[in-house]
Amino acid sequence: MRIGRMAPLFTAGITATLLATLAPAAQASAADPLSRFENQKPAWQRCDASQPAALQCATIKVPLDYDHPGAKTIDLAISRMRTSVPGKRHGVILFNPGGPGGEGLDMPVMMKEGMPKKVLDQYDLIGFDPRGVGRSSPVTCGLTTTEQNFEHAYRTETFKRDVTWARTVADKCRARNGDKLKYITTRNTARDMDVIRAVLGQKKISYLGYSYGTYLGAVYAQMFPQRTDRWVLDSAVDPARVWRGMIQVWAQGTEPAFTRWTRWTAQRDRTYRLGGTPAEVRKAFWDLIARADRSPVDDGGRKLTGDDIRAALRPAFFTPKYAAEAVVNLKKAADGHAASRGSLTPGDQPGPRGFTALAAQAPADNGTAAFWTVVCGDTAAWPRDPEQYRRDAIRDKAAYPLYGDIASNILPCAFWNKPAEPVTTVNNKVGVLTVQNEWDPQTPLVSGLGMHHALKGSRMVFVKGGEGHGVYSADPRACANRTVNAYLSTGRLLARDVTCAPSAPRSPGVAQPLVPAPQHTPAGPRF
């Protein structure tokens, strides 16, 4: 999930100011080698002329390698909106939009639009681009658009090409970034968050993280439990599945969503004409896939194979109406009635409202490069033998026909260097509020439950029947939103888990998630 990029902001004068605040390593306290980072005084200024003047940005320095804080440093871009009211101020709340690879500098603007006054009065809103992303020393691998597409269906005749692709991506990332790669990890981003906390003069911080941001928040809570305050994790990653298992769970989660879609569509046969029973709807879909594999479908100028359609529609099946409309339009295209606009155009998919993106400065492949850098660098639990991926893809295509082979096929992490440190075991008792839709395509329910169970002190808000990725929204009437807002404004965690009904169907400007859901594009994956 990518939030937008900042225009060039920081002048030579500001850079000089920052360097002056960072005393030489020799001056750092022997007792606290991070003190020179924690005592920085950010040079705040307006972020961008297209954004509200209240959104301020600054750049601070953090260690590239926290084991050697006196060595190389990198830039970390942070932002703030001072919305708290004297006498009501509780502290600061930090946001992360997901990814990995999602930019967060403009999140304070978006969150201010949706959060109620009783919450805003208590917090200053803080955003940041995680290390390696956007304005924070961005990584690039020099990947082409084709190389950024990770969704490769398994076929015997193309597997060798898939292996070459995976190895090429890993090699290009290594060649462009060298040793820097192994320090762009979730654990180091959590350490950066703690530097931000100290720079802002806070003993504790509150946090709202979406998707991948839930894992980042859980890792911070594991590493710095005494510094976590009011903590909300929306649409959660299962920490036991990072990271290959989190891609594979997309296949596992899609099968029940597909079955639900066949029932929903069969009940509306007069509208969609895809079949009057779930079995007939299922057959209509797979007939379309077989037909597209024989002769690719012209969908608004794009030629789509059956594999392309399987990959593109995977998240759509979690929202039955959109999936039914897309399948009908694809069938029409296969019959020669191609639409001027593609059936799978991201803008057609129901989802959150957009917002003004800031001018881009990061490399074109930054989001994808940051994704692989984190998911490959966080954990050593990636098979190294290409044949293991082949076996898994064959097995999972049989178990999960829609997406199993794609989810288990070979990825660049098979050829990544060994991680700098072990993956984080999440098993703390910090008080956390997790929020989860029942029908979430990116972090399916089983994933959200995994996070809830790992965090022994957590409570869950479960939206039964809720659709889409991201729950917390700008609708003050929604049960889940009322619960989150009550927690953020009082600090009182639920005594037990609660189940909410979904909010009313979305209409423009109402009940829209505050963070954009991922769209299917020929690029890297997102959580």
Active-site residues, by number, are 211, 440, 469
Alpha carbon 7 to its chain's center? 22
Separation of alpha carbons 191 and 34, rounded Å: 11
| Of residues 504, 457, 455, the one with CA closest to residue 480 | 504
Beta bridge partner(s), residue 459:
433
Q: What one-character-per-residue DSSP string does 250-283 give?
A: HHHHHHHHHHHHHHHHHTTHHHH-S-SSHHHHHH
**Helices 306-313, 278-294: crossing angle, 10 deg rounding:** 130
Separation of alpha carbons 346 and 323, rounded Å: 12
Q: What are phi and psi of 332, to 5 degrees?
A: -65, -40
CB neighbour burial string for 243-272, b if at least 16 within 10 angstroms, e if fewer: bbbbbbbbbbbbbebbebbbebbbeeeeeb
User: Is-contact 292 334, C-beta < 8 A?
Assistant: yes
User: Is-contact 450 440, C-beta < 8 A?
Assistant: no
User: Is-contact 284 268, C-beta < 8 A?
Assistant: no
> What's 507's DSSP letter?
B
| Long-range contacts of residues 390-399, Cβ cutoff 8 Å, at least 24 apart | 390/154, 390/159, 393/154, 393/159, 394/154, 396/248, 396/251, 397/154, 399/251
Structure tokens, 268 = 């509306």
Q: What are phi and psi of 328, to 5 degrees?
A: -60, -45
Tokens 């290390």 correspond to what residue?
Answer: 131
